[in-house]
């Protein structure tokens, strides 16, 4: 690879002066009733060569946040964006309505864990900015709540959040990773469960934005194993979010005395998750080879010996303990929709595994073992199903959970009883208890209620036909009795990557959209896991274009079947879904009336050079590979923008503290699109100064969503009203 290009030494000074001047003009023009114009951005071409292909980048300087001109350019773009969004007359009313419905929802409980007779949970309690960490004596008695930690008391602005928590096996102590400003750079704190008092053990560098982090307690609660990133000085600064390893911390001892356990042999892009066996005699380390779906597993025995149980090539993404310390493994080797095998307690020879559940027509999503049964949640293209396997005779029986629902959060309680969380597009999530003796799921007192209802909305599941003939599911929420006359405003959401499945879920904010007569659709694209690992692999690496073809086919299906037309079709996605948005509007600029793209990836040629970009190589590929580069360059949104094209209006959103996707990706794409588009439609960049890859606390989420809806309604020429 070679680099060339002549930089104007005054370009940073010039762009700053121009940007600020144009912004001032834009604001004054807005007040004068004239259409604001975006700030100008200087070009500073840099040319790289990849496998004989010259690739020129005009806006690379926008990658460098440490350059004083870049944050000032970002501020100018924010000012321009605000001049557009704040001038929308309905924006205030939209914000007030969202505050009413999002802030008016009831409490919600999630992330449940059961330890030694104590039920731990996150509690979401609007209008608090962040969740609380609590215990309950029973899922039938919310009044038994005991608050361990309320991070809102640490930070009233809602910029401090919990990354994860792990209770000790005796439920007396709890390790909590806490980070700020959406950075996900978490430090573990230890609290006494009964009193909520902090012990004083602080373990930094446990959690990171992409590789995450975890903790696993030992048997007596005197210490825990934890994931650890390098400390400053141990490696160069650019490597401090790589080379994750496992260490052991004994409570009450100095950090310097923590002992290395395992990890030096792991890939530098390893992502480590830890799990204690029910009695704490074994520790399981799950090691992901970054984000592409390859996993290895290591077991720590009571002898202190670590043994590798699975390798990346074994294609086993999930291993977990049963109540008797046996291990249950999900295998995709030769069975891409999954089969479940088991190993006896302490056994590490994979060849001695026995098969419990053979592959079927549905894709295994999750499972949990009790003394007598194995509970299995399957996906059939998106919606969930559930079955119970008798561990004695391997007989299976389906559990009725409803249609077009999502089942997750399987939590082992006493004996063979489990809790499960069920939700749908039209019903808020609720926790159910399943007792195999009664063979029915009964509701608990842990449920979410909403100030809005979706009784007037029906769900239909249709299939688009992609470019290569693949049938792609679309889940469509539509008002009952809607006329398919091609005039309905429609919002299409997609993701399509990392084996992540788009499953049914409730969102109160959709009520605003339905009040406008809108239709909401979710596409189950290749690249996800809705039909197992084959579905994922059909949309990654050199096959990534299949994802974009699937999405375009879904959009065309909504048009051809009379739901909508291009002028009334908006699309939305974030992160990997932001890449999807970029590919969609660069490949089909005439197909959409508005685009909302959040924390997206657009310069696919340079994404692996971003601070955490190498984690994505197993999903996207690398430009050092000629075949990968050819595919990447062919779809990379940043490199497929065409000058003089009438692109649809676009709202780009990013977070200043995003550690997963470099905000510079959104800055560069915005600059490129503002120059190239000749439609006269706005190309806007909204950068949040107090969030990262997520949307931050409740108030930030409300403001963000108000901007999104105000933008879409304006660009689709939809008057705002609500009928709640």
pLDDT digits (tens, 9 = 90+) for 576-607: 999 999 999 999 999 999 999 999 999 999 99
What's the mean per-residue pLDDT of the chain?
A: 93
SS3 percent helix, strand, coil of the chain, rounded to 5, is 25, 35, 40
Cβ neighbours, 10 Å, residue 227: 29
Give me the mean pLDDT over the 367-389 stretch: 96
- What tokens appear for 372 in the block? 């007598």
State pLDDT tens for residues 161-199: 999 999 999 999 999 999 998 889 999 999 999 999 999
Cβ neighbours, 10 Å, residue 489: 24
Look at residue 33 in the predicted model and tell me its pLDDT. Answer: 47
CATH entry 3.40.50.1820 includes domain 97-105+452-599+694-724:
yes
Tell whether the model's pLDDT for residue 271 goes beyond 90.
Answer: yes
By three-state DSSP, how is residue 340 classified? strand
Which strand ranges, in their side-by-side order, compose the sheet holding 650-655?
A: 457-465, 471-479, 519-523, 490-493, 569-574, 594-598, 650-655, 683-688
CA dist 76 → 24, 371, 661 (Å): 9, 61, 21
Q: Which residues contact 703 (CB under 8 A, 6 or more apart)?
A: 95
Q: Which residues of 134-154 are buried (b: 16+ CB within 10 A; e: fewer)?
A: bbbeebeebeeeeebbbbbee
Give me the mean pLDDT over the 269-288 stretch: 97
- pLDDT band at 4; cut points 50, 70, 90: very low
Q: 69-74 long-range contacts, Cβ below 8 Å, gap at least 24?
A: 69/12, 69/13, 69/15, 69/16, 70/667, 72/16, 72/19, 72/20, 73/15, 73/16, 73/19, 73/39, 73/41, 73/667, 74/656, 74/667, 74/685, 74/687
Q: Could you report how far apart the first and last alpha carbons of the chain are, in Å?
A: 59
- The answer to whether the CB of 484 falls within 8 A of the CB of 561 is yes
CATH, domain range 106-276: 2.130.10.120
- pLDDT band at 689; cut points 50, 70, 90: confident
Tell whether the model's pLDDT for residue 276 goes beyond 80.
Answer: yes
Between β-strands 354-357 and 108-115, what pairing exists: parallel, antiparallel or unpaired? unpaired
- pLDDT band at 153; cut points 50, 70, 90: very high
DSSP for 439-494 reads: TEEEEEEEE---S---TTEEEEEEEEE-TTS-EEEEEEEEETT---SS---EEEE-
Tell whether the model's pLDDT for residue 10 goes beyond 60.
Answer: no
- The answer to whether the CB of 619 falls within 8 A of the CB of 650 is no
Q: Which residues pair with 226 in a beta bridge?
A: 215, 247
d(CA 163, CA 149): 13
Q: Which residues pair with 183 in a beta bridge?
A: none
- pLDDT band at 697; cut points 50, 70, 90: confident
pLDDT, greater one: 318 or 440? 318
By three-state DSSP, how is residue 143 classified? helix
State pLDDT tens for residues 316-350: 999 999 999 999 999 999 999 999 999 999 999 99
Give me the mean pLDDT over the 35-58 stretch: 94
State pLDDT tens for residues 458-505: 999 999 999 999 999 999 999 999 999 999 999 999 999 999 999 999
d(CA 162, CA 124): 12
- pLDDT band at 5; cut points 50, 70, 90: very low
**Phi and psi, residue 712, nearest 5°:** -65, -45
Question: For the chain, which residues make up each domain, given as ranges?
Answer: 97-105+452-599+694-724, 106-276, 363-449
Tell whether the model's pLDDT for residue 378 goes beyond 70.
Answer: yes
- DSSP at 627: H
Look at residue 695 in the predicted model and tell me its pLDDT. Answer: 65
Cβ neighbours, 10 Å, residue 82: 18
């Amino acid at each position: 690879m070679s680099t060339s290009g002549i930089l104007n030494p005054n370009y940073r000074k010039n762009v700053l002066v121009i940007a600020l001047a144009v912004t001032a003009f834009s604001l004054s023009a807005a007040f004068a009733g004239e259409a604001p114009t975006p700030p100008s951005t200087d070009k500073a071409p840099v040319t790289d060569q990849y496998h004989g292909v010259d690739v020129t980048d005009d806006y690379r300087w926008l990658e460098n946040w440490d350059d004083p001109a870049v944050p000032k350019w970002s501020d100018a773009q924010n000012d321009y964006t605000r001049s557009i969004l704040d001038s929308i007359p309905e924006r205030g009313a939209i914000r007030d309505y969202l505050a009413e419905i999002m802030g008016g929802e009831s409490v919600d409980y999630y992330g449940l864990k059961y330890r030694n007779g104590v039920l731990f949970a996150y509690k979401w309690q609007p209008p608090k900015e962040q969740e609380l960490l609590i215990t309950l004596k029973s899922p039938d008695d919310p009044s038994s709540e005991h608050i361990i930690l309320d991070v809102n008391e640490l930070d009233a602005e809602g910029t401090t959040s919990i990354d994860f928590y792990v209770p000790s096996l005796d439920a007396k102590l709890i390790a909590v990773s806490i980070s700020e400003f959406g950075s996900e750079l978490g430090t573990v704190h230890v609290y006494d469960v009964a009193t909520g008092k902090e012990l004083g053990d602080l373990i930094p560098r446990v959690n990171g934005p992409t590789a995450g982090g975890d903790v696993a307690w030992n048997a007596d609660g005197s210490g825990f194993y934890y994931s650890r990133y390098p400390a400053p000085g141990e490696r160069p600064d650019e490597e401090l979010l790589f080379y994750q390893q496992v260490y052991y911390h004994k409570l009450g001892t100095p950090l310097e005395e923590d002992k290395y356990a395992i990890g030096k042999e792991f890939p530098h892009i390893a992502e480590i998750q830890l799990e204690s066996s029910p009695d704490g005699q074994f520790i399981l380390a799950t090691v992901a080879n970054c984000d592409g779906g390859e996993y290895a597993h290591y077991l720590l025995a009571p002898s202190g010996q670590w043994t590798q149980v699975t390798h990346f090539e074994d294609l086993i993404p999930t291993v977990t303990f049963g109540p008797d310390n046996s291990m249950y493994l999900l295998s995709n080797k030769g069975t891409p929709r999954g089969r479940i095998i088991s190993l006896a307690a302490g056994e590490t020879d994979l060849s001695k595994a026995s098969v419990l559940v053979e592959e079927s027509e549905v894709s295994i999503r999750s499972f949990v073992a009790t003394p007598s049964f194995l509970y299995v949640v399957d996906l059939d293209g998106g919606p969930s199903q559930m079955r119970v396997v008798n561990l004695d005779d391997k007989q299976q029986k389906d559990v009725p959970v409803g249609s077009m629902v999502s089942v997750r959060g399987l939590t082992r309680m006493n004996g063979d009883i489990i809790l499960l969380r069920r939700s749908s597009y039209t019903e808020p999530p609720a926790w159910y208890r399943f007792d195999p003796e009664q063979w029915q799921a009964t509701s608990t007192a842990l449920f979410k209620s909403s100030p809005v209802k979706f009784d007037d909305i029906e769900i239909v599941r249709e299939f688009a036909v992609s470019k290569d003939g693949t049938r792609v599911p679309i889940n469509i929420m539509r008002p009952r009795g809607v006329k398919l006359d091609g005039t309905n405003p429609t919002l299409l959401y997609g993701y399509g990557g990392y084996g992540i499945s788009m499953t049914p879920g409730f969102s109160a904010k959709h009520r605003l959209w339905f009040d406008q007569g809108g239709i909401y659709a979710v596409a189950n694209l290749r690249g996800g896991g809705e039909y197992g690992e084959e579905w994922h692999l059909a949309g990654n690496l050199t096959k990534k274009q299949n994802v974009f073809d699937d999405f375009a086919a879904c959009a065309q299906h909504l048009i051809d079947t009379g739901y909508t037309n291009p002028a009334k079709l908006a699309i939305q996605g974030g992160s990997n879904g932001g890449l999807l948005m970029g590919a969609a509007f660069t490949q089909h600029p005439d197909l959409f009336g508005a685009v909302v793209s959040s924390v997206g990836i657009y310069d696919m040629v340079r994404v692996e050079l971003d601070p955490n970009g190498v984690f994505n190589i197993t999903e996207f590929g690398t430009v050092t590979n000629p075949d990968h580069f050819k595919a990447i360059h062919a779809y990379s949104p940043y490199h497929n923008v065409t000058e003089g094209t009438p692109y649809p209006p676009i709202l780009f959103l990013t977070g200043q503290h995003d550690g997963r996707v470099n905000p510079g990706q959104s800055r560069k794409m915005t600059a490129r699109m503002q120059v190239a588009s000749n439609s006269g439609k706005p190309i806007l960049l909204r950068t949040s100064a107090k969030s990262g890859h997520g949307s931050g606390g409740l108030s930030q989420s409300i403001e963000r969503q108000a901007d999104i809806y105000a933008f879409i309604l304006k660009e689709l020429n939809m008057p705002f009203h609500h009928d709640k």
